[in-house]
Amino acid sequence: MGMLGHLAGYAGLTGIPFGNIVGPFLVYILKRDESAFIEDQAREALNFQITMTLAGIVSAILVLVAIGIPMLLIVGIWWVVGTAIGATKANAGEWYRYPGAIRFVK
């Protein structure tokens, strides 16, 4: 079940504005009382998705000075790969921490 919080981040691929944040947030709110593991992993996924959204916004702004284009590519790849890694680790029962994620929700 901890994997669900991570995979919910892919809701952003559906075209729902900020779906990548809404998905893990809903898992965090609705499932956090089921176990400490689910709460922790949903919180980690939520923090990662917020961090990636902010990094994407900054990268999009920096497109005006050319450095944003490679940054957007790197952020996009890390978003997809990082989410998959988090889901895989949670599915295996590991308490996963995303490297570089800012802890907005504690």
Tell me the average pLDDT across 76-99: 98
Report pLDDT for 63.
95
96 Cβ neighbours under 8 A, 6+ residues apart = 6, 41, 44, 85, 86, 89, 90
What are the structural domain ranges in the chain? Answer: 2-91
Report pLDDT for 74.
97
Say what the pTM is: 0.93
Residue 5 has pLDDT above 90, yes or no: yes
Round the average pLDDT of the chain to a whole number and report it.
Answer: 95
